[in-house]
Amino acid sequence: MIEIDALFDKLGYVVLYLAVAVLGLGLVTGVVLKKTNPSKLKDFVKVFSGVVIGIAVAVLVTMTYVKMQDTDVEPLLFYPVLATLVTVLASGIALLVASSFGKKAFRVTLCVAGALALGCFIALMVCMSKQFDLVGSDYEHASTVGMIVSAVVIMALLVTVYILGGKKDVNNTRALVYGAVAVALSFALSYARLFKLPQGGSVTFASLLPLMIYCMMFGTRRGLLVCLVYGTLQALQDPYIIHPMQFLLDYPLAFGLIGVSGIFVEKNLFKNKIVGFVLGSVLAVGLRYACHVCSGVFAFADYFYWDSELMSKYDSAAVYSLAYNSFALVDMAIAIVAGSLMLLSKSFVNQMTLASQPAVVEESDDEETDNSQEETAEI
């Protein structure tokens, strides 16, 4: 009989191969259409986007069902996280549909989606607080004050970065579709683990790279939101949660700050995009590393005090947390090398630029087309 954890991991690899195959097929088909029949490219992008979203929904439902069979999963934590993700996914689809009906419809849908997501988030925090009341005695060295202060400081930093990011004028439909693809691809790559640590955390094969590229293409603001969604998705994939603030530090905030990776490219501070990408990635992953270290010091210090070997090897829980969470830096190095190699390709950079063209350009092109059709009709 196959164990649930083993089956879940095997499904992860299936998701990885499926994502690579679908995206590869889509890219090849898109290139062929662009050269042979450009007029059909726009219709293909719409259909392909629907296929990607459909596959993402199917994968989420399947893996959720498998994970639910695991008796070790705490329902009080698992179901609220699942409900939050389903709400975000449904909101994304609704925004994608609304974007086809104009900016007003998009904004109204965005307000409703935001209210629903906020409600789910509050319910999630309440459930996690209740869970900690039940098991809190097992973590005697956990510092609630330390976790709260760390989470608040990092949230303030995230808001500051969001404000500094500025508003980049892009096509909303395209940004949503690319965001969904980036999350799906990063989630799939997160199963390609080079090694996994015992108390959570792993080194993957450039799983953060799709998110970093998205942040460069569509700006810091959209990047932060997409990375926040990915961080919550990570909590469903491999949950290790004992406290609401620890959840924020290890998942939404830690991965949400990956959105900072595109800020130097967005601000055009460096002529060379590779330099901007590298520095932005170092900053983003450095902030993620700080989140994990704070979580280790204030939430998981008991793992240090329970192990006499660790106490003899490290001076304090803080030093142990710094060493343990260094896996994030290794993960960053792999993503930076892979991303730099991709940015060396001029065709790839050109495709990035074309994909992130402002909506105004497309609208003006559409208006010119409509005007030319009207003139033809009059003649």
189-209 average pLDDT score: 81
3-state secondary structure of 260: helix
| Residue 253 binned pLDDT confidence (cut-offs 50, 70, 90) | very high
Q: 279 lies in a domain?
A: yes
CATH number at residue 244: 1.10.1760.20
User: What DSSP state is assigned to residue 71?
Assistant: T
Asked whether residue 178 carries a pLDDT value surpassing 80, the answer given is yes
Distance CA 151, CA 159 (A): 12
Of 87-96, 251-260, 316-325, the least confident: 87-96
How far is the CA of 114 from the CAs of 23, 137, 177, 346, in angstroms? 29, 35, 18, 38
Domain presence at residue 256: yes
Contact 142, 301 (CB under 8 A): yes
pLDDT digits (tens, 9 = 90+) for 94-125: 776 676 677 788 888 888 888 888 888 888 88
Q: What does the pLDDT read at residue 46?
A: 66
Average pLDDT of the chain to the nearest whole number: 78
Q: Which pLDDT belongs to residue 291?
A: 93
**What angle (nearest 5°) sits at the alpha carbon of residue 347, between those of residues 344 and 348?**
65
Query: 236-262: string of b/e by CB count within 10 Å (b at 16+)?
Result: bebbebbbbbbbbbbbbbbbbbbbbbb
Q: In whole angstroms, what is the distance from residue 254 CA to residue 94 CA?
A: 27
Q: How confident is the model at residue 360 (pLDDT cuts 50, 70, 90)?
A: very low
More confident residue, 174 or 65: 174
Return the higher-pLDDT residue of 36 and 55. Answer: 36
Distance, in Å, from the CA atom of 127 to the CA atom of 96, rounded to the nearest integer, reads 31
122 found inside a domain? no
Q: Is residue 3 part of a domain?
A: no
How many structural domains are present in the chain? 1
Q: Residue 173 domain-assigned?
A: yes
CA-CA-CA-CA torsion sign (323, 338, 349, 358): negative
- Pairwise CA distance, residues 178 & 171, whole Å: 11
Question: Residue 282: its pLDDT value, please?
Answer: 93
More confident residue, 36 or 339: 339
* Interval 264-283 mean pLDDT: 88
The answer as to whether 114 is a domain residue is: no
Domain that holds residue 252: 140-369
- For the cut 60, the answer to whether the pLDDT of residue 369 exceeds it is no
Q: Give pTM, 2 decimals.
A: 0.72
The more confident residue out of 65 and 180 is 180
The pLDDT of residue 305 is above 90: no
Residue given tokens 């259409």 in the structure block:
33
12 assigned to some structural domain: no
Q: What's the average model confidence in pLDDT over 231-248?
A: 80
Integer Cα distance of 297 and 299 in angstroms: 6
Cα angle 12, 278, 331; round to 5: 30
Residue 377 pLDDT grade (very low, low, confident, very high; cuts 50, 70, 90): very low
Q: Is residue 6 part of a domain?
A: no
